[in-house]
Structure 1
Amino acid sequence: MKEGEDGVNRGHKVGKTVACALLIAYAVVSFGPFVWALLVSITPMTYEKDGQRVGVDIMQ
């Protein structure tokens, strides 16, 4: 067996892959509140109920 082809090198690759996966998952979870804030900011504050406009219209 050559140097570097044993279980130690393989363990290092697995550890690096797991660390990358955890960092990507953390980035996705951390990005969630920004997406939520963006979606809430572009939704209208008023809606139609029984033909009448309900809610607060800050543009009038």
Structure 2
Amino acid sequence: QAQTDQIIKNLQRENAMIATAWYDLTSRLQSNHVVLQRRHDAPKSWLNKQRQMVNGEQPLCC
């Protein structure tokens, strides 16, 4: 009985660790996606367009 309880406790701990790792991974992926979206939207602002012109860069969008 004690051995079965220990196995159950270990499995519960392992499941909690997997759930935490999964949550962390999806949070990082979502955060990276938001950063990439911001990078794409950045040239649309007037200030960033001016920076691109001063630096001699081609604008990414209109």
TM normalised by structure 2 equals 0.58
CA RMSD of aligned residues (A): 2.8
Identity of aligned residues (%): 10
Residue 10 of structure 2 is matched in structure 1 by: 7
Q: Deviations over 1:27-59 (max 9, x none)?
A: 011111211122221143336xxxxxx67xxxx
Gaps of 5+ in 2: 57-62
Residue 40 of structure 2 is matched in structure 1 by: 37
Q: What's the secondary structure of 2:11's corresponding residue?
A: helix
Richer in strand (by share): 1
The higher-RCO structure (CA 8 Å, 6+ apart) is 2
The AA in structure 1 aligned to 2:17 is V
Gaps of 5+ in 1: 48-53, 56-60
Moved over 4 A (4+): 1-5
**Number of paired residues?**
49
Q: Which has the larger radius of gyration?
A: 1
Residue 28 of structure 1 is matched in structure 2 by: 31
